[in-house]
Amino acid sequence: MPVLEARCVTKRFPGVVANDAVSLAVEAGEVLAVVGENGAGKSTLMNVLYGLYAPDEGEVLLRGRPVRFRSPSDAIAAGVGMVHQHFMLIPPLTVAENVVLGSEPRTAAGLFDRGAARETVTRVAREFGFAIDPDARVETLNVGQQQKVEIVKALSRGAEVLILDEPTAVLTPQEARELFRIARSLAAAGRSVVFISHKLREVLEVADRIAVMRAGRIVATLAAKETSERDLAGLMVGREIGVLPPHGEAPRAEVLLEVVGLSAQNDKGVEALREVSFALHAGEVLGVAGVEGNGQTELAEVITGLRARTAGTVRVDGREVPSPTPARMRALGVRHVPEDRQRRGLVMPFTVAENLALGRQRSFCCGPFLTRARMRRHAREAVEAFDVRPRRIDIAARALSGGNQQKVILARELTSDPRVLVMVQPTRGLDVGAIEFVQKRVLEQREQGKGILLVSLDLDEVLALSDRVLVLYGGRVTGILPRAEATEERLGRLMLGTIPDKCYGS
C-alpha cells in the first residue's frame, strides 16, 4: 500500500489547468523522482500533497485513507514534510532554535528548554548520519549545511514522507552527493523521499522510480535503471532531444577580453570581487562556475559596464577601457545576456519589435527619425530565425513565456555582430527544449570565432559548453582549468574554496 497517493487530482487556476487527473503513488522506502518542464505541474502537485493547495477534483490518500490537508500544518502533523528550494530559516538563530521553531520544548517553569532542543537535533542527526552543530548560527553555515537543517527540522517533526524541491540547485557536486546519501539512507530506514529536479543525470543516480510530467499529466513512470537521460528528456517535451556535438579545447587565438586585478563591491558596499584576472580568447567558451553569491553577478556587471570597479583593468581587443559603461562596452562589441531577463533584458511593456531594436536604434534610423518599417522587417527575420513563439512582433514582451522572452534577448544580442558575449544564467528557468535551443546558439557563436563568457550555476551546462572553466569562491579565482581536467570532483573542491597544488592561469 502506498504511503502517500494522489488519485485523479485536478487543480485549476484562472484560465489554466495545472494538474489534470494526476495519479501518483509514493511507496515506503523509496526515492521517487518527479521531472518535467517548467509549467508541467510538478510544483502544483507537490503543493497539493503538502496542503498548500486543495485539489478541485480527486483526492489525496495517506496510508490508504483519504485526507484533506487544509494547510501545511495539517500535512506536517500527518507525517508529510517539504524542503523548499528557498530555505525557510532564520539566519541569526542557531540550528537547534530553527529546528524547534514553532514547537519549542519547555522546562517545568515554562521557559525555552535549550538542552532539549539540542538533543532533538543531535538525535536526528545521529540517526541518519548527519554532521551538524546544534549551536551553530544558521547565518554562518554554507548552503549544503543549511539544507541539512531543513531536513532535520522536517524529520524531527515526524516526517514519513519528505518532499525535496530542486534540492541540488545551489549545491556543489560534493554537497549533492552527500544529499543523495541522505536520501538513500532515509529510504533505507523506511521513509519515503519525493525528489523534484530538472537535472536528469541526478535523478537517475538517486531515484528508484521516475515520474515524468507533461502539460499537467503524468505521461510515464519508469524504473530509474531502465531509462536514460535522453529518453526522459524526450518524454518531458514530447519529442526526441538532440545531443550537443562534442568539442575539444579551442586553440589559443587572439585575446578578445582581458581583466587584470579586478575588484568590485556588491550593492551593500562589501567587497565581492578580489583581484580577479583572466583572458578570454576568440572562438572560446570560458565557463564561470561557483556557488551562488561568490561574485559571479558582480563580475558580469563590471565587464558590461553596469557596475563600477574599485581596482583593476578591463581590456577589449588589447585596448584598456578606462571607465566601462554599457554604451561604451556595446560600442566595443561586448554583448550581454543578463541574469534577470525581465528586469535587465527586456522592457516588458514594449513590443517584441521594439525590444529587438534596443541598443541599436541608430541602425534603424534615417537621419534623426526611426524607420519603423526597417525595424519591423528586422524583427520578423529575427523572430523567424530564433523560433520565437508566437510569431507576432507587435505583442508586448510580457505576453511571452520565459523561454520565448529569452529567445528575444538572444536574437537581439546575437544578431548585432558581437565580439564578446557575456551570458549569465542563459537557460535558468527554461524547459528542456528551450535549453537545447540556447546551448546550440552558444556553440554556433563559438564556431564563428566569438568569445563567450558563460556564467552558470548549472555545472552540467558549464561542463557541456566550456573549453576552460574558471571557478570563483569568495570573489577570488581559485582555479582556471582546461575542460579535459575540469572534473566534477576538482571543480567541487575549488567551489568550496580549496586551493589545489597546481592552479592554472589565464
**Which amino acid, 502?**
K
pLDDT value at residue 503: 43
Provide the CB-side half-sphere exposure for 46 (13 A, CA).
28
In this model, does residue 175 exceed pLDDT 80?
A: yes
User: Taking the model in full, what pTM does it have?
Assistant: 0.73
pLDDT value at residue 63: 94
In this model, does residue 242 exceed pLDDT 70?
A: no
The residue-averaged pLDDT of 113-125 equals 93
Binning pLDDT at 50, 70 and 90, where does residue 499 land?
Answer: low
The residue-averaged pLDDT of 95-116 equals 92
Alpha carbon 378 to its chain centroid, in Å, reads 32
In this model, does residue 185 exceed pLDDT 90?
A: yes
- Provide CATH 3.40.50.300 ranges for the chain: 1-79+160-167+180-240, 254-333+418-506
The residue-averaged pLDDT of 1-26 equals 91
CATH numeric code, 1-79+160-167+180-240: 3.40.50.300
The residue-averaged pLDDT of 138-158 equals 90
**Residues 234-240: contacts with CB under 8 Å, at least 24 apart:** 236/35, 236/36, 236/37, 236/40, 236/212, 236/431, 236/432, 237/37, 237/431, 237/432, 237/433, 238/214, 239/433
Binning pLDDT at 50, 70 and 90, where does residue 138 land?
Answer: very high
Greater model confidence, 398 or 403: 398
Please tell me the class of the 254-333+418-506 domain: alpha beta
In this model, does residue 232 exceed pLDDT 50?
A: yes
- List Cβ neighbours of 6 (8 Å cut-off, separation of 6 or more): 22, 23, 24, 25, 45, 48, 49, 55, 58, 60
Distances (CA, A) of 38 to 202, 388, 427: 18, 17, 12
pLDDT value at residue 502: 44
